[in-house]
Structure 1
Amino acid sequence: MGPGMLVVEHAGRHPATPRPGAVIDHPQPGLPADGAVAVGGAPAWFRALDDTTLALLAICRTDGTLLAANRQAFEGSGLAPAEQVGRPFWATGWWSGSTAVADRVRAWCAEVAAGGAPVRAQTPWFHADGSERTLDLTLQLVHDQATGTAYLLPNGTDVTDRLAAARTAARATAAQEEAEALRRLDAARSADVAHLRAVEAQLSRALELSEKVLANTADGIYGLDTDGRVEFVNPAAVRITGHSRAEQLGGEQHALIHGRRHDGSPYPREECPIWRALRTGVPVTADDEVFWRRNGTPVPVELVAVPTIEDGAVTGVVVSFRDLTDRRAAAEQAAELRRLEEQAAQERALSDRLQQALLTPPPEPDHLHVAVRYQPAAHGAQVGGDWYDAFRQPDGSTVVVIGDVVGHDSRAAAAMGQWRGLMRALAYDGGGDLPAVLRRVEQTARGLDVSTLATAVLARIERRPDLPGGATRLLRWASAGHLPPLLLAPDGTSTVLHTRPGLMLGVSADAVRAGHEAALPDDATLLLYTDGLVERRGADLDQGLAALQAAVADLGRRPVDELCDTLLARLVPASVADDVALIAVRLHPEDRPRPPGPARPTGDG
């Protein structure tokens, strides 16, 4: 739904009269109300309903601003979305044909937005060509559970054809009654013959019009006699049920398409809402019935059964029904989307808590400044398995580790904890033979059935005052399929320490690992990072590394914490779909005091 859940207020309430004097101020352009999304930015759960067949399904701010509507609302009315979205709902083209109608819609919006009961009413609405039709409108207040944002949700079905059919049937019945009365008086009133013929012509025209309406409406319509036998059936009813006109005429409608419940059990005729209308002479509505197609499959329907009454006696019933398959499918899809979003949020929260618990503060060795950052992926994205670690060995050397587990789920986050724990435990007293440490880590992982693949760089910074060229520290490292370290000089020049990376962890416990060395000049900065910092869709790794070098070109003398934050801001977009872990080690000269400014334990960018 941004994903979020939809909460409907006062669901199921029927027509409500707007409070006298309730108004909504015209919204100010560009100023979202109540924390709602900007004009045109409907929540994700609403966009999933774009293809619904409802004549109108829209979403508005509580100040009435139209944010979006389904495709049928625009295509069916001939209105252009670009000209309607962003306007007050009552000022859109659907109500432009009548000021009184627009004022009434505005009052309804005010009533519902103020916390009143949902509104349901039949109201005129208009198409782009100026034609007036009738809409069965429901207006209610909903809340996005994820954001707390309230919205107005207008929706409705076009009942113009249904009402026209009912009016036409009523006119036909009235004309038929008048014609019958004239026939009874024919013998005594020969002068009324011309009038009778005129009435019959009117009846004929009414019947012709009724047949046209019945043939073109999307709703299925039946006419039944007092025994429930089919007297007429329109093409839509034939199409929806799959039973031909010949199969249905004269047959008992209940036994043919309505004799079983949803679960297939028998449905007694006496409990059927259509038979209740025949018995009582009172119109009956039902919104959870099922008809059965000729091929044996069920079709969910809502129906209205209106008895026909002549001389005070029930002579039959007209049944109008609508196929709810598409509407139910849309509702199920929306529910499944909400379920998946909730599940993803729960998994993400669990994995984030696990990662944060494992990402410990770095050490503060003399004349080394270690800064670390962990930035999770954007909200709603999959969970990653990125990690970092930094600790001192018994001989005073500093070890830094960066790694990334293959996968994006809670299992990947759990595997990250296993690999990190093994690496920390075995490297603590492993000395300077880093390839040997990686082999021991992999052999131990195999023995403990840790099978998830991972990449990592294990690095050790040693104090070596005897190095040529004035450097006093030596970097040793070994890579298991991970991205290369980057060494940044104070003047902004940088070197990517390219080496053959070796196999990933988890591939072969007997793989031969190579170790590498590089002198570390004073005031230089060593960067270790995961792929979320440099890899982007549509760009190769060389492009990502070049972007990294460009991003740090002016950061060589910046404080190391500022360097980390600036680098993340420059390279990691807000919508990034992968986690990012980063370690920066600044090498201060040993002939002067260590600058202040301890590293922060963790960061989120």
Structure 2
Amino acid sequence: MRTPEEELARALIRYEWVLANVADGIYGLDTEGRVEFVNPAAVRLTGYPSVEQRGIDQHALLHHSHLDGSPYPREECPVWQAIRSGRTVFADDEVFWRKDGVPVPVELVAVPTVEEGGVTGVIVSFRDLTERRAAEAQAAELDRLAREAAASRALADQLQQALLTPPPEPDHLHVVVRYLPAGHEAQVGGDWYDAFLQPDGATMLAIGDVVGHGSGAAAAMGQLRGILRALAYDNDETPAETLGRTDRAASGLAVSTLATAILARVERHPDVPVAGRRVVRWSNAGHVPPLLLAPDGSSRVLETTPDLMLGVEPSAPRRDHTVELDSDHTLLLVTDGLVEKRSSDLDEGMARLQDALRDLGRTPLPELLDTVLHRLVPRAGEDDVAVVAVRAYPEDRPRPAEAGPNVLPPGIS
């Protein structure tokens, strides 16, 4: 059995070990707030050696001012209140001033020591909140950025959806479109499509991709799409001429953005009967090339040397290209989100698209596009995807049931 003196010595050793190794700063103060003992953590956190603190008024040394530099009256100090009231006081928003003048945010607990019913001093335990406050500030900033990004994404999505309108359905042509937004974490892009009829009955198709992401790209997409639609609607110029005018108009109107685009015009062949083939005339401003799908599933990429993308040089020359669109054949215009992946180039992506279409040559267009998207983009990716498909039907027969009814704008028959 140990003697009471031995037990007391062991208790004092444990007490000193705890004081020396605990991470929190600990002070022992007398009834006047003077430092009687200070543990190593308090020395480290305040920068004052213990010899410079013993016998010194702790409030005057460390707690004299608020964070803004204004004086901190002693009677408002939680440590002093604990001494005067004899009750434990907790404070979670205090500041201790280091020897080098740097403020340290702290939370503290002041526990009075009571002997024979009277307060003989106070034990103060405090914890440096610098890292916690920095983490809280970082979390708050991340939350703010996330909310701003979500709001920006929602606005851009709404803008895109408002502009990506349903296509017309001219007799003996079936036009189907699809737009697949990028994954939730990714930013909205500037992919867009358009399909409309000219007064003479020709069908105009457009697809494009504005460089960049976010609401700025979506807004630029809306401006560029509006300019192109207005300039292409009521004239008999070629797609190349319209793209050139669009580029010059965007430059003159300070729509400063880079974009790829294809503008195509589906028109009746001038030298064959009504039941014959149609002609697709298109111009490519740096975009993914079109693809022509035959009923038997074979396809060919309408590869040409693309002209400059929009927004680089408004006076750059642009060229037209033509291809015949036979009945039951399908023309597809796509954006790069469908065919380009980080691990492969455009040629490989177009080959994958051709493989995905191989058994779909006679599949109704809505099902065809849904199947292709499922095969190539089973989950929302890092980029938006837009697709426009048009299929021609013989004009000497009724419109097929799977193509749905005619949907024409007012004034066009």
Provide the C-alpha distance between the structure 1 equivalents of 2:182 and 2:137, rounded to a whole number of angstroms.
29
Counterpart of 1:378 in structure 2 is 183
Counterpart of 2:382 in structure 1 is 577
Higher relative contact order (CA closer than 8 Å, sequence separation 6+) = 2
Using the TM superposition, give the Cα deviation of residue 253 of structure 1 relative to its aligned residue in structure 2, in angstroms: 1.1
Contact 1:522–1:587, Cα closer than 8 Å, also in 2: yes
- Give the counterpart of 1:262 among 67, 81, 93: 67
One-letter amino acid matched to 1:398: T
Counterpart of 1:251 in structure 2 is 56
Q: Check 1:521–1:439 CA distance in 2 against 1; reply closer, same or farther (3 A cut).
A: same
Provide the C-alpha distance between the structure 2 equivalents of 1:275 and 1:412, rounded to a whole number of angstroms.
60
Provide the C-alpha distance between the structure 2 equivalents of 1:353 and 1:600, rounded to a whole number of angstroms.
27
Q: 1:323-357, CA deviations, whole angstroms, 9 ceiling, x for partnerless residues?
A: 12222222222222221121112111211221122
- Give the counterpart of 1:331 among 110, 129, 136: 136
Counterpart of 1:296 in structure 2 is 101
Contact 1:481–1:501, Cα closer than 8 Å, also in 2: yes
Is 2:252 aligned against 1:452?
Answer: no
Is 2:292 aligned against 1:487?
Answer: yes
Q: Please show how residues 90-169 of structure 1 align to structure 2 within 5 Å.
A: none
Is 2:397 aligned against 1:598?
Answer: no
Contact 1:230–1:252, Cα closer than 8 Å, also in 2: yes
Q: Check 1:340–1:251 CA distance in 2 against 1; reply closer, same or farther (3 A cut).
A: same
Counterpart of 2:12 in structure 1 is 207
Provide the C-alpha distance between the structure 2 equivalents of 1:598 and 1:339, rounded to a whole number of angstroms.
47
Give the TM-score, by structure 1 length.
0.64
- 3-state DSSP class of the match of 1:593? coil
Contact 2:171–2:406, Cα closer than 8 Å, also in 1: no
Counterpart of 1:55 in structure 2 is none
One-letter amino acid matched to 1:270: E
Counterpart of 1:437 in structure 2 is 242
Provide the C-alpha distance between the structure 2 equivalents of 1:415 and 1:276, rounded to a whole number of angstroms.
63
- 3-state DSSP class of the match of 1:299? strand
Provide the C-alpha distance between the structure 1 equivalents of 2:123 and 2:57, rounded to a whole number of angstroms.
14
One-letter amino acid matched to 1:476: R
Greater CA deviation, 486-495 or 293-302?
A: 293-302
- Give the counterpart of 2:318 among 513, 520, 524: 513
Contact 2:190–2:213, Cα closer than 8 Å, also in 1: yes
Q: 1:19-75, CA deviations, whole angstroms, 9 ceiling, x for partnerless residues?
A: xxxxxxxxxxxxxxxxxxxxxxxxxxxxxxxxxxxxxxxxxxxxxxxxxxxxxxxxx
Q: Please show how residues 28-39 of structure 1 align to structure 2 within 5 Å.
A: none
Using the TM superposition, give the Cα deviation of residue 454 of structure 1 relative to its aligned residue in structure 2, in angstroms: 1.0
Is 2:204 aligned against 1:410?
Answer: no
Using the TM superposition, give the Cα deviation of residue 554 of structure 1 relative to its aligned residue in structure 2, in angstroms: 1.2
Q: Can you give the 5+ residue segments of structure 2 that lack an aligned partner in the other structure?
A: 408-413
One-letter amino acid matched to 1:598: G
- 3-state DSSP class of the match of 1:474? strand
Q: 1:139-195, CA deviations, whole angstroms, 9 ceiling, x for partnerless residues?
A: xxxxxxxxxxxxxxxxxxxxxxxxxxxxxxxxxxxxxxxxxxxxxxxxxxxxxxxxx
* Alpha-carbon RMSD: 2.1
Counterpart of 1:284 in structure 2 is 89
Provide the C-alpha distance between the structure 1 equivalents of 2:404 and 2:60, rounded to a whole number of angstroms.
82
Using the TM superposition, give the Cα deviation of residue 467 of structure 1 relative to its aligned residue in structure 2, in angstroms: 6.2
Counterpart of 1:555 in structure 2 is 360
Q: How many residues align?
A: 405
Is 2:250 aligned against 1:421?
Answer: no
Contact 1:465–1:471, Cα closer than 8 Å, also in 2: no
Contact 1:471–1:520, Cα closer than 8 Å, also in 2: no
Provide the C-alpha distance between the structure 2 equivalents of 1:374 and 1:503, rounded to a whole number of angstroms.
25
Stretches of 4+ aligned residues off by more than 4 angstroms = none
Percent sequence identity over aligned pairs? 66
One-letter amino acid matched to 1:382: Q
Using the TM superposition, give the Cα deviation of residue 317 of structure 1 relative to its aligned residue in structure 2, in angstroms: 0.8
Counterpart of 2:80 in structure 1 is 275
Contact 1:371–1:584, Cα closer than 8 Å, also in 2: yes
- Give the counterpart of 2:22 among 173, 197, 217: 217
Using the TM superposition, give the Cα deviation of residue 465 of structure 1 relative to its aligned residue in structure 2, in angstroms: 6.1
Provide the C-alpha distance between the structure 2 equivalents of 1:319 and 1:599, rounded to a whole number of angstroms.
83
One-letter amino acid matched to 2:322: E
One-letter amino acid matched to 2:113: T
- Give the counterpart of 2:199 among 368, 385, 394: 394
Contact 1:361–1:600, Cα closer than 8 Å, also in 2: no
Contact 1:257–1:293, Cα closer than 8 Å, also in 2: yes
Q: Check 1:403–1:346 CA distance in 2 against 1; reply closer, same or farther (3 A cut).
A: same
One-letter amino acid matched to 1:244: P
